[in-house]
Amino acid sequence: MLGMGKLGIQAQARIAIVLVLSLVLLLVGVLYLKQVQMHGRVTEFTRVTLHDALLEHMQRRASSRVTEAAEQLANPLYYFDLEAIGRIVNTIQKIPDVSYVFVFDKDGRIIHDGSGEIASYGEKMQDPLADSVVSATTATLQHGDGFIDASSPILLGDERLGGVRIGYSLESLLAGEAAALDELDRQMERIARQHRLWIYGLMGTIALLGYIILRLVQSRYTRPVKQLADYAHAIESGRYEIDIVPSKRSDELGDLERAFARMSVSVREHDNEIRKLAYGDPLTELPNRHGFRNQLEIYLAAAGENTRLALLFIDVDNFKRVNDAWGHEVGDNVLREITGRIRQAIEKISGKHFSGEIDLARFGGDEFVILLHSREDEDQSISKAAKHLAQRLIEVIAQPVKPEASDVEVRLGASIGITVFPDDGFSAVALLKNGDIAMYQAKAAGKQGYRFFNQSMASSLNDRMKMEQSLRGAWARGEVSVVYQPICQMKSRQLMVVGAEALLRWKSPEYGQVSPAIFIALAEESELILSLGLDVLRTACQDLASWRKQGKQYAGMFVSVNVSARQLQDGKLPEKVEKILANIGLPADALHLELTETMILEDSGKVNETIRRLRSLGVRLWLDDFGMGFSGLSHLRRLPVDGVKIDRSFVDGMCKEEGDRIVVQNIINMAKDLRLTVVAEGIEDPTQWQALRDAGCQLGQGYWLGKPTSYRGILGLLR
């Protein structure tokens, strides 16, 4: 693409050829002029030379003739034999070009003039040359107007008898000369004509050659270069699908064409790779967020009156723990397995419950999105299909996963948010946000469930920033409190409180009672959890100190406090804990810190160092929610903890499923082997209590034993 003011190769070639042609023509023109000049000079030179040569020839002839005549005339003149003189004169007169003959005496009087009656006899010669002729002592040549006068004295011995004069006319000499020059001119003109023909031919040939070169340049160079430029332009504007025919040329341009073809292929491949990376997920080979978004935009742009879309946002619960605990390889295998299950679930519903298109994408670590797309949906069947699919997904994802090449069995769950176009939103941005909100709600409602988006969700969760802002000053305003859930000894038949778990509560004037699942996550996203965590620790330790004073049997009571990953990563935690304990005057073993596997297994030197220092203080570390997500019990050996809390879900399941009972039994057995304290969480009825007692569980916690209550509530329990 040539801009204004730029000259293309073809134009340049044309100009170059025109320039060369003009130069050649100029040269030819100059040559022609030189030739015309030379023609003139040659003619002039020839004329002069010819004239001189002819004149000289005539002069020599005249000279020798007059000398010969003088000799012949000597005797006849001596004897004055007029007859003999006349004979000689007549003979001379007959010689061509001779116009007159005069014989004269020593005084210059005419003796014979060649005529029969000698009309001028005795007259003195009167012409302008006469005097020099009479006085000459040797043969003399003189020129007159159009003639040559040759004269010679006639001598007998030393005596001068007279003289003879022969006049030669130059007329025929000049005529012959003119004829010769005419002929020369004709010949020169002929040669010049021939030259001109040659020059015209030459010029024609050069012009033809120029034209041929131009066409050649065009077809051999300009066109291929222009073609390459067009290809480059196409590639530049992202049209990689052009196919460049591989060149068969063997010259540099062929090399260039081939290099260009190779380059375009590699650009295309790179582009595909980049596209794959940018729009696809290499692990599952599903489109990623960007790829999905593009597809969604396409559907939305083409959406008609009856188009319906349903987006299912699937978040795999607890997946991060799998990754952290078993490494990324196991995590990847689990994700592939989950992807396969989602695909199967999709296959199951498509056709039967849903006739439109279904797209699946992976958004991030453990987030999948399914898009149901229907062009004709008048009876809201898309919502039914989405609901059906969500139920099915929750079921199949909850099935234990056994990743290949590992002895692990992983238990996961799924929280699903569903949003529908056009009911919930018109734009991709709105739909993606709504889906996220609905999913977050499903998670907050206790995981393993699905939620359809509704506008009230958007308004309550829309502004998490606002909520975070409000949480910031909540402790100072007294909105946040610590409640305690009693932890009981299980050996004895009667319930005996030996400790309590501190749990945060936030009652916001704006949001009401906010679930710790929501506000703790919010606090963890910011640094807020650091100060909030310290507040809980201080309060719990103070409260414990006062309980301990209630009686001898409570002197050994403990409090357990939940610690977030963010707090562990902050290397100052051991110092702060030590200070709090010292200020309040509590022994370190009165404080139990609840950590999760994820936090401990994080491969970070800082976290390991914090854990080591906490333990060396004498603080007890408990593993919270153990067994949740996976059941790699052998793993327990490697964890630097003093106790485990069996997750509520196992306690809940142990009386219903044999598998769960076995898991609980194994945890208890192994913990005992490892001399770890075992706490069962979420005991909700006496059957569970009994079953756990039978299994040998040491400590228990749950609504049946005591719901989380205030400091005073615990005080009442102790009294």
Applying CB under 6 A, the residues found at the interface with ligand C2E are 485, 502-504, 516-517, 520, 533, 536, 562-564, 594, 624-625, 648, 682-684, 702-703, 708
The residues of the shown chain that bind Mg ion, judged by CB under 5 A, are 562, 594, 624-625, 681
The CA-atom distances, in angstroms, between 702 and each of 425, 454, 652, 705 are 42, 34, 11, 5
175: tokens are: 């005529």
Residue 471's H or E segment, with its range, is helix 464-472
In angstroms, give the least distance from the CB of 626 to Mg ion: 9
In angstroms, give the least distance from the CB of 572 to ligand C2E: 16
447: tokens are: 């995981």
170 vs 530, beta carbon nearer ligand C2E: 530
464 vs 505, beta carbon nearer ligand C2E: 505
In angstroms, give the least distance from the CB of 574 to Mg ion: 20
534 binds, among Mg ion, ligand C2E, none (CB under 5 to 8 A by kind): none
296 vs 502, beta carbon nearer ligand C2E: 502
Residue 216: CA count within 13 A, CB half-sphere: 7
311 vs 623, beta carbon nearer Mg ion: 623
Peptide bond preceding 422 in cis form (omega within 30 of 0): yes
In angstroms, give the least distance from the CB of 667 to ligand C2E: 16
280 vs 708, beta carbon nearer Mg ion: 708
33 vs 517, beta carbon nearer ligand C2E: 517
15 binds, among Mg ion, ligand C2E, none (CB under 5 to 8 A by kind): none
In angstroms, give the least distance from the CB of 599 to Mg ion: 12
Long-range Cβ contacts of 250-257 (<8 Å, 24+ apart): 253/220, 253/221, 253/224, 253/225, 256/228, 257/224, 257/228
Residue 593: CA count within 13 A, CB half-sphere: 30
In angstroms, give the least distance from the CB of 706 to ligand C2E: 9
In angstroms, give the least distance from the CB of 540 to ligand C2E: 8
Measured CA to CA, the distance from residue 711 to residue 546 in angstroms comes to 10
210 vs 708, beta carbon nearer Mg ion: 708
702 binds, among ligand C2E, Mg ion, none (CB under 5 to 8 A by kind): ligand C2E
Measured CA to CA, the distance from residue 678 to residue 673 in angstroms comes to 11
In angstroms, give the least distance from the CB of 580 to ligand C2E: 14
177 binds, among ligand C2E, Mg ion, none (CB under 5 to 8 A by kind): none
98 vs 503, beta carbon nearer Mg ion: 503
Measured CA to CA, the distance from residue 561 to residue 540 in angstroms comes to 8
The CA-atom distances, in angstroms, between 655 and each of 16, 412, 597, 678, 695 are 98, 20, 25, 18, 12
257 binds, among Mg ion, ligand C2E, none (CB under 5 to 8 A by kind): none
Measured CA to CA, the distance from residue 70 to residue 68 in angstroms comes to 5
703 binds, among ligand C2E, Mg ion, none (CB under 5 to 8 A by kind): ligand C2E
Measured CA to CA, the distance from residue 257 to residue 246 in angstroms comes to 7
In angstroms, give the least distance from the CB of 566 to ligand C2E: 9
Non-local (6+) Cβ contacts of 490 within 8 A are: 680, 689, 692, 693, 697, 698, 699, 700
Measured CA to CA, the distance from residue 563 to residue 576 in angstroms comes to 13
Measured CA to CA, the distance from residue 206 to residue 198 in angstroms comes to 12
377 vs 625, beta carbon nearer Mg ion: 625
Measured CA to CA, the distance from residue 524 to residue 565 in angstroms comes to 8
Name 715's bridge partners: none
185 binds, among Mg ion, ligand C2E, none (CB under 5 to 8 A by kind): none
Measured CA to CA, the distance from residue 572 to residue 580 in angstroms comes to 13
708 binds, among ligand C2E, Mg ion, none (CB under 5 to 8 A by kind): ligand C2E
